Amino acid sequence: MIRRTLVVLGALALTLATFATAAPQAAAPATKPKAAAKGAAVAAKPAASALPGYTEADINAALQAAYAKYKDLQEGKNADYIPALAKVDSKIYGIALVTTDGKVYTAGDIQSEVSIQSISKVFTMAKVIEEQGPDAIANTIGVDATGMRFNSIVSIEFSQKALGGPEMNALVNPGAIAATSMVKGATRDAIWNGILGFYSDFAGRPLSVNQEVFKSESDTNQRNQAIGYLMYAYGYIKAEPMRATDIYTEQCSVSVNAKDLALMAGTLANAGKNPVTGKQVLEQEYVPKVLAVMATAGLYDDSGKWLFRTGLPGKSGVGGGIIAVSPGKFGIAVISPPLDEAGNSVRAQKAIADVSNALGGNPYDVKPR
Ligand code: GLN
């Protein structure tokens, strides 16, 4: 009898032990609804935002503070190696942030448009990845920072000499022209329409080209033509290097305002789905690949400094725009034409860093459990 009781007690202890070990697992899913319920409680407040812990007023305040802080900053100068860019109003200064629930927050000038320039490189690379998969970029152009200026020719030579594969990326001119050459299409028109349509889906409206900028850069882009030919000579570009350079120049001339850029970034922040139109523009699984190249090479040879300050994948253009992505949270863009030595907008870097850091945007900045 005693023995039987012991056996029963033993079995009971075993059952309890099983429960005990199962408990943490059972607790894991149980915490989710709890967290969701907490989120729902926050969302029920009228001024709550999609950013956990921040209200809409917090976001607006962060944008307004950054706008005011840098409005009168007189550093940097417009790009002038493309004549049309030198003429752009240096005072244009606008900030836009789009949260992944599609809410748009703005400060300053969000009407004025500038040419997208190198920010286009992100979306052409994304198009090639969408059409051919990430390895098509990784194995042909590469996904390593060059550590050199965006139009460096020496970087092509170094990439050639590197053992074990290409050491370049699609966010500097040589790799970007090569990426443009990889976009599918039977004719120039078909390729171009595919590129412009893809950009427009990211921006959530039909974009168009600033013809003055396109002509100005076409007349003066001999260096990029040289880069196109050199990339062809080394086999990165398979055919028609001047057509690729020409389409690349046209894609750089696409006209955007700060809100367009923020929505393009916001679509990347929202796993490839435009948070305003709801269209899945880029396959979700490809988004981390695009963000990785932005993180390592988006601000050219200053990409490390930028990541150190913000933790955000970003991309700049010599038109004065910068976009940055806080995955799952928001896309942000600032337009301000004066650039620093590396070719990155001075105000845009400062304003994005301030806003993101004020709103917990840095994905590496987590609290211990
Ligand atoms: N269209 C420009 C160029 O090729 C783009 C450069 C940039 O924005 N960094 O020089």
- In a mutational test of the pocket of ligand 1, which residue from 217, 299, 339 has the highest number of ligand atoms less than 8 Å from its CB? 217
Q: Report yes or no on 73 lying in a domain.
A: yes
H helices present in the chain, as ranges: 2-44, 56-70, 83-86, 120-132, 134-140, 154-161, 173-182, 188-203, 211-220, 222-233, 241-252, 258-269, 287-297, 303-310, 346-358
Q: Report yes or no on 144 lying in a domain.
A: yes
Q: Report yes or no on 348 lying in a domain.
A: yes
* Statement: residue 7 has pLDDT above 90: no
CB count within 10 Å of CB 108 equals 24
Q: Report yes or no on 17 lying in a domain.
A: no
Q: Which two tokens stand for residue 167?
A: 């050491």
Q: Report yes or no on 340 lying in a domain.
A: yes
* Statement: residue 127 has pLDDT above 60: yes
Q: How far is CA 298 from CA 68, 282, 361, in A?
A: 26, 19, 17
Calculate how far, in angstroms, residue 322's C-alpha sits from the geometric centre of ligand 1: 13
- Asked if residue 231 lies in contact with residue 178, where contact means CB atoms within 8 angstroms, the answer is yes
Q: Report yes or no on 223 lying in a domain.
A: yes
- Which pTM does this prediction carry? 0.87
The tally of domains found in the chain comes to 1
Q: Report yes or no on 150 lying in a domain.
A: yes
* Statement: residue 27 has pLDDT above 60: no
Tens digit of pLDDT for each residue in 129-184? 999 999 999 999 999 998 889 999 999 988 865 556 688 999 999 999 999 999 99
How high is the mean pLDDT of the chain?
A: 89
CA nearest to 149, candidates 349, 336, 303, 348: 303
Q: Which two tokens stand for residue 19?
A: 């429960």
Q: Which atom of ligand 1 is nearest to the CA of 217?
A: 1
Phi, psi (5° rounding) for residue 365?
A: -90, 85
Q: Which two tokens stand for residue 7?
A: 């056996």
Query: Ligand 1: residues within 6 Å at CB?
Result: 117-118, 150-151, 173, 217, 224, 252, 317-318, 343
Tens digit of pLDDT for each residue in 267-318? 999 999 999 999 999 999 999 999 999 999 999 889 999 999 999 999 999 9
Q: Report yes or no on 47 lying in a domain.
A: no
- In a mutational test of the pocket of ligand 1, which residue from 80, 118, 169 has the highest number of ligand atoms less than 8 Å from its CB? 118
Q: Which atom of ligand 1 is nearest to the CA of 300?
A: 9
Nearest CA owner, ligand 1 atom 6: 118
Q: Which atom of ligand 1 is nearest to the CA of 319?
A: 8
In percent, the amount of the chain with pLDDT more than 70 equals 86
Residue 45 — left, alpha, or beta (φ > 0 → left; ψ -120 to 50 → alpha)?
Answer: beta
What kind and span of H or E run contains 326?
strand 321-326
- Where in the sequence is the domain holding 80, given as residue range(s)? 57-358
Q: How far is CA 259 from CA 294, 322, 331, in A?
A: 20, 12, 10
Q: How far is residue 112's CA from residue 335's CA, in Å, rounded to a whole number?
A: 9
Nearest CA owner, ligand 1 atom 4: 173
Q: Which atom of ligand 1 is nearest to the CA of 224?
A: 4
* Statement: residue 2 has pLDDT above 60: no
Q: What is the DSSP string of 85-133?
A: HHTS-TT--EEEEEETTS-EEEEE--S--EE-GGGHHHHHHHHHHHHH-
Average pLDDT estimate for 194-221 = 98
Output the domain CATH number for residue 352: 3.40.710.10
Q: How far is residue 269's CA from residue 257's CA, in Å, rounded to a whole number?
A: 18
- Amino acid residing at 221: N
- In a mutational test of the pocket of ligand 1, which residue from 80, 117, 246 has the highest number of ligand atoms less than 8 Å from its CB? 117
Dihedral Cα 228, 313, 124, 140, nearest 10 deg: 60
Tens digit of pLDDT for each residue in 37-90? 455 555 555 578 999 999 999 999 999 999 999 999 999 999 999 999 999 999
Sign of the dihedral defined by the CA atoms of residues 215, 220, 222, 224, in that order: negative
Dihedral Cα 133, 135, 137, 142, nearest 10 deg: 160
- In a mutational test of the pocket of ligand 1, which residue from 80, 119, 150 has the highest number of ligand atoms less than 8 Å from its CB? 150
CA nearest to 160, candidates 152, 294, 302, 149: 152
* Statement: residue 25 has pLDDT above 60: no
CA nearest to 359, candidates 41, 52, 36: 52
What kind and span of H or E run contains 106?
strand 104-108
Helix 173-182 × helix 120-132 angle, to 10°: 40
The three-state secondary structure class of 55 is: strand
The three-state secondary structure class of 254 is: strand
Q: How far is residue 32's CA from residue 362's CA, in Å, rounded to a whole number?
A: 23
